[in-house]
Amino acid sequence: MSQPNQLKLIPSVDKLLSSAAFRNTIEVYGHTRTSQSIREYLSSLRSQIRENDGHPIPAMEDIAVIITTSLDAIDTSSLRPVLNLTGTVLHTNLGRAALPSSALDAVIRTASGNTNLEFDLSEGKRGDRDDHVEKLLCELTGAEAVTVVNNNAAAVLICLNTFAFGKEVCISRGELVEIGGSFRIPEVMEKSGCSLRELGATNRTHLKDYANAVNEHTGLLMKVHTSNYEIRGFTQEVSYEALARLAKESDVPFLADLGSGTLVNLEHYGLEHEPTVQEVLKAGTDVVTFSGDKLLGGPQSGIIAGRKDLIEQVKNNPLKRALRVDKMTIAALSEVLKLYKHPESLTRELPTIRHLARRPEEIRSISETVLPAFTESAGDKATVSIIPSASQIGSGALPLDQLPSFSIQIKPISERDSALQQLARSFRDMPVPVVGRLQDGALLFDVRTLDECALLIDQLEHFAWP
Ligand SMILES: *Cc1c(COP(=O)(O)O)cnc(C)c1O
């Protein structure tokens, strides 16, 4: 088979490396990386030419730009801070909870050297990393014992595997939830070695459904807080108290996955009631699991709290080692928990609670602070105004609860959808990307979660409107 003619015209690696066009690239990235990158580029260029003999061969200067851009991109950190103005306070794709400054300081202190992570300083012996948060968590939740793993999905997995491996788990059909990102209760059950015993109907489950299902194969009764949807209308679910009683009579443990799990009564902040960890444990639930970075407002982690003998079993499960948290998480979590000992200061000190509790008047005043910068920057490219809007908690908590808020609304002069998309994209291209949401033909920036007004105003001064 004859070679396409174009192939013969491709410059060699050596020729490119010795050309003036590459001098700067080699100076910045070194000979080895540059030649490796050239080789990869030429190989993909060859395949494109084999597919299409007419494919053009860029000039050496253009090849140098392509190579330099790709090396630049590799060396630029892809993980960047962004401003979350989507209106979803706990946005999973944007990294959920922002940590308070005391937690950040603790992370730096702990991560920059060695710590007594698993070392008992008074005895000079091996300790347990859970020790640094267990006392605080027991005090705050009323649990006898606590252990912490990498996230709440891990907490559910290890609990199922510990309490019901090879056995049946009784759970209501209405609670077989899927959390965004492919965490489905039935699938986690299978992976943890348990079999699912679905009870009742999607909308209604009764105590007798559980009572009839319990037999010698039952390993666990489970209740999952339906955190990202709500079934309304003709519904019936069984209370924590009733299930706890049945579990005791049947001599099987009762596990509740709270998902978000809050330590404070959200009604204090004008939100709807969400069962607190304390309430659910007080109802007699043996073990509860909840996330560290949802309503708690801490680092990514999964907290398992409850009866001492059961928590001990979880700690002794070999999976615990695979799912354990690192020292930075322990350091941050411990500081966040300390804030809960002074609940009156949470709205000041803890970003998640501060954002959730923000009153509409305050949000309106934030939007008035940034409005002039938007208006001035937009010029005649767009109309800018403040509109009432609704934020949500996110990460599954109180899915139907809409929090009254205010947003900066931007409407490009051109009514084409592409103009709106381009506008949203330009804001995402800012040095600190600003992420909003599209609604009713406009770009909305919900300022409930905005703490960095000066940064945003400064970015707007240098913003090139599309
Ligand atoms: C969010 C959630 C999980 C998963 O928690 P992660 O911390 O995201 O791993 C599990 N169960 C419920 C009910 C949840 O809401």
pLDDT tens figures, 368-397: 999 999 999 999 999 999 999 999 998 766
Tell me, using a 6 A CB cutoff, whether residue 175 lines ligand 1. Answer: no
Return the residue whose CA atom lies nearest to atom 15 of ligand 1: 259
pLDDT bucket at 235, cuts 50 / 70 / 90: confident
Q: Are 375 and 356 in contact (CB under 8 A)?
A: no
Looking at residue 455, its pLDDT comes to 98
Averaged over 431-460, what is the pLDDT?
97
Looking at residue 160, its pLDDT comes to 97
Looking at residue 54, its pLDDT comes to 84
* Phi and psi angles of residue 398, each rounded to the nearest 5 degrees, phi first: 40, 65
Tell me, using a 6 A CB cutoff, whether residue 292 lines ligand 1. Answer: no
Averaged over 313-336, what is the pLDDT?
98
Tell me, using a 6 A CB cutoff, whether residue 85 lines ligand 1. Answer: no
Residue range(s) of every CATH 3.90.1150.180 domain in the chain: 83-90+356-461
Gap from CA of 198 to ligand 1 centroid (Å): 20
Choose which residue among 182, 223, 227 to substitute to test ligand 1 binding: the one with the highest number of ligand atoms within 8 A of its C-beta.
227
Choose which residue among 91, 149, 152, 333 to substitute to test ligand 1 binding: the one with the highest number of ligand atoms within 8 A of its C-beta.
152
In 3D space, the residue among 139, 154, 100, 108 whose CA is nearest the CA of residue 297 turns out to be 100
Closest atom of ligand 1 to 226 CA is 13
Which residue type does 68 have? T
In 3D space, the residue among 387, 435, 408 whose CA is nearest the CA of residue 80 turns out to be 435
Residue range(s) of every CATH 3.40.640.10 domain in the chain: 101-349
Choose which residue among 94, 183, 222, 303 to substitute to test ligand 1 binding: the one with the highest number of ligand atoms within 8 A of its C-beta.
183
Q: Mind listing the pLDDT tens digit for each residue in 144-155?
A: 999 999 999 999
Picking from 77-81, 201-205, 302-306, 349-353, which range would have the lowest pLDDT averaged per residue?
Answer: 201-205
Gap from CA of 274 to ligand 1 centroid (Å): 15
Question: Distance between CA 350 and CA 377 in Å, rounded?
Answer: 32
Evaluate whether the domain defined by 101-349 bears CATH number 3.20.20.105: no
Average pLDDT along the chain:
93
In 3D space, the residue among 259, 250, 295 whose CA is nearest the CA of residue 280 turns out to be 259
**Does residue 1 register a pLDDT over 50?**
no
Task: Report strand pairing: 218-224 vs 254-259.
Answer: parallel
The DSSP result for 377-434, as a single string, is HHTTSEEEEEEEEEEEEETTEEEEEEEEEEEEEEEESS--HHHHHHHHHHHHTSSS-E
Tell me the CATH architecture of domain 83-90+356-461.
Answer: Alpha-Beta Complex (3.90)
**Does residue 112 register a pLDDT over 70?**
yes
Query: What percent of the chain has pLDDT above 70?
Result: 97
Picking from 132-141, 195-204, 329-338, which range would have the lowest pLDDT averaged per residue?
Answer: 195-204
Residues 6+ apart with CB under 8 A from 328: 107, 110, 111, 299
What global pTM score does this model have? 0.89
Looking at residue 229, its pLDDT comes to 65
Q: Mind listing the pLDDT tens digit for each residue in 5-45?
A: 788 889 999 999 999 999 999 999 999 999 999 999 999 99
Q: Are 150 and 317 in contact (CB under 8 A)?
A: no
Tell me, using a 6 A CB cutoff, whether residue 152 lines ligand 1. Answer: yes
Going 255 to 137 to 292 to 317, the CA torsion angle's sign is negative
308 or 178, higher pLDDT: 308
Averaged over 207-227, what is the pLDDT?
93
Query: What percent of the chain has pLDDT above 90?
Result: 83
Gap from CA of 6 to ligand 1 centroid (Å): 55
Looking at residue 181, its pLDDT comes to 65
Closest atom of ligand 1 to 177 CA is 13
Looking at residue 171, its pLDDT comes to 94
Return the residue whose CA atom lies nearest to atom 6 of ligand 1: 152
Question: Distance between CA 459 and CA 382 in Å, rounded?
Answer: 17
Looking at residue 4, its pLDDT comes to 59
Gap from CA of 137 to ligand 1 centroid (Å): 19
